[in-house]
Chains A and B, each alone.
Chain A
Amino acid sequence: MSAEAPPVEELASRQPVRGSLPRRLAGRPELGAVVGAVAVFVFFSIVAEAFLQWSSFSTVLYASSTIGIMAVPVALLMIGGEFDLSTGVLVTSSALISSMFSYQMTANVWVGAGVSLLATLAIGFFNGYLLVRTNLPSFIITLGTFLILQGCNLGFTKLISDTVSTKSIADMEGFPSAHKVFASHLTIGDVEVQITVLWWFALIALATWILLRTRAGNWIFAVGGAKEAARAVGVPVERTKIGLYLGVALAAWISGQHLLFNYDVVQSGEGVGNELLYIIAAVIGGCLLTGGYGSAVGAAVGAFIFGMTNKGIVYAQWGADWFKFFLGAMLLLATLLNWWVRKRAEESK
Chain B
Amino acid sequence: MTAAVLAAVLGTVLAGCSSTGGKRAEERAAREAAAGGRAAVNTPKWTFAMVTHSGDGDTFWDIVQSGAKQAAVKDNIRFLYAHNEEGKEQSQLVQSYIDQKVDGLIVTLAKPDAMKAVVKKAQKAGIPVITVNSGSEVSKAFGALTHVGQDETIAGEAVGDELNKRDRKKALCVLHEQGNVGHEQRCDGAAKTFDGKMEKIYVEGTNMPDVQSSIEAKLQSDKGIDTVLTLGAPFADTAAKAADQAGSKAEIDTFDLNAKVAAALQDGTLGFAVDQQPYLQGYEAVDLLWLNRYNADVLGGGKPVLTGPQIITKDDAAELASYTKRGTR
Q: CB within 8 Å of B: which residues of A?
A: 48-51, 53, 55-56, 59-60, 62-63, 66, 102-111, 150, 153-154, 157, 162-165, 167-174, 185, 192, 258-259, 262-263, 265, 267-274, 307, 310-311, 314-317, 320-321, 323-324
- Residues of A near B213 (CB, < 8 A) are 59-60, 62-63, 66, 307, 310-311
Q: Contact between A173 and B55 (Cβ–Cβ < 8 Å)?
A: no
A269 touches B55 (CB 8 A): yes
- Distance A186 CA – B234 CA, assembled complex (angstroms): 26
Interface residues of B: mostly helix, strand, loop or mixed?
helix
A168 in complex: contacting residue of B178, B217, B220, B260, CB < 8 Å: B260
B-side contacts of A53, CB under 8 Å = 220
CA distance A10 to B40 in the complex (A): 77
Question: Distance in Å from the Cβ of B72 to the closest Cβ of chain A?
Answer: 16
Bound-state CA distance A273–B207 (Å) is 9
Chain B: residues with CB nearer than 8 A to chain A?
Answer: 15-26, 55-59, 61-62, 178, 199-202, 204, 206-210, 212-214, 216-218, 220-222, 234, 237-238, 241, 245-247, 258-260, 327
Q: Give bound CA distance, A317 to B209, whole Å.
A: 20
Q: Give bound CA distance, A157 to B59, whole Å.
A: 12
CA distance A265 to B59 in the complex (A): 12
Would you give the shortest CB distance from B21 to chain A, in whole angstroms? 4
For B223, the closest partner residue in chain A by CB is: A50
B212 contact set on A, CB distance < 8 A = 62
Closest to B237 in A: A263
**Within the complex, which residue of A157, A162, A265 is in contact with B327, where a contact is CB–CB below 8 Å?**
A162
Are B206's CB and A106's CB within 8 A? no
Residues of A within 8 Å of B17, CB to CB, are 105-108, 173
CA distance A262 to B211 in the complex (A): 13
CB–CB A63/B210 < 8 A: yes
Q: List, sorted by A's number, 22 A–B pairs whose CB atoms are closer than 8 Å.
A: A55-B246, A59-B220, A66-B210, A105-B17, A162-B327, A164-B56, A164-B57, A164-B58, A164-B62, A165-B57, A167-B26, A168-B21, A169-B22, A171-B21, A173-B18, A262-B208, A262-B209, A269-B58, A269-B206, A311-B217, A316-B221, A320-B201
> Which residues in A have their C-beta under 8 angstroms from that of B199?
320
Given contacts A59-B217, A62-B216, A265-B260, 17 further A-B contacts (CB under 8 A): A59-B220, A62-B213, A66-B209, A103-B21, A164-B56, A169-B22, A173-B20, A263-B237, A267-B57, A267-B234, A269-B57, A270-B207, A274-B207, A310-B210, A311-B213, A314-B214, A314-B218
Cross-chain contact A320 with B202 (CB below 8 angstroms)? yes
Instruction: Decide: A106 and B210 in contact? CB cutoff 8 A.
Output: no
Collect the chain B residues with CB atoms within 8 Å of residue A106's CB: 17-18, 21-25
- State whether A107 and B245 are in contact (beta carbons under 8 Å apart), knowing that A165-B57, A268-B57 are contacts in the complex: no
Closest 6 interchain pairs by CB?
A: A269-B57, A106-B22, A50-B221, A173-B18, A63-B213, A171-B21
Contact across chains for A111 and B221 when beta carbons are under 8 A apart: no
Q: Give the docked Cα–Cα distance between A324 and B203 (Å).
A: 10
Q: How distant is the Cα of A55 from the Cα of B248 in the complex, in angstroms?
A: 12
Contact B204 A273 (CB under 8 A): yes
Cβ 8 A contact of A314, one of B16, B55, B201:
B201
Q: Which of B24, B57, B222 contacts A317 (CB 8 A)?
A: B222
Bound Cα distance from A62 to B212, whole angstroms: 10
Nearest CB of A to B57, in Å: 2
Bound complex: CA A187 to CA B217 (Å):
18
Question: Do B247 and A55 touch (CB < 8 A)?
Answer: yes
Collect the chain A residues with CB atoms within 8 Å of residue B26's CB: 167
Least CB distance from B243 to A in Å reads 12
Task: Decide if A172 touches B20 in the complex (CB within 8 Å).
Answer: yes
| Contact B234 A320, beta carbon cutoff 8 Å | no
* Complex partner residue of A270 from B57, B220, B241, CB under 8 angstroms: B57
- Chain A nearest CB from B27 CB (Å) reads 9
Question: What are the residues of chain A within 8 A of B217 when measuring CB–CB?
Answer: 50, 56, 59-60, 63, 311, 314-315
Would B18 and A271 count as touching, CB distance under 8 A? no
* A48 contacts B221, C-beta separation under 8 Å: yes
Residues of B within 8 A of A153 (CB): 57
Contacts of B61 in A (CB 8 A): 164
Residue of B nearest to A270 (CB): B206
In the complex, the answer to whether A102 meets B22 with C-beta atoms within 8 Å is yes
CB distance from A180 to the nearest CB of B (A): 16
Q: How far is the CA of A274 from the CA of B199 in the complex (A)?
A: 27
Q: Which of A170, A269, A310 has the most CB of B within 10 A?
A: A269
Contact B221 A263 (CB under 8 A): no
* C-alpha spacing A73/B93, complex, angstroms: 40
Report yes or no: A320 in contact with B200, Cβ–Cβ below 8 A. yes
CA distance A329 to B317 in the complex (A): 45
Nearest CB in chain B: distance from A51 CB, A:
8
With A162-B327, A320-B200 already in contact, the answer to whether A263 and B21 are too (CB < 8 A) is no
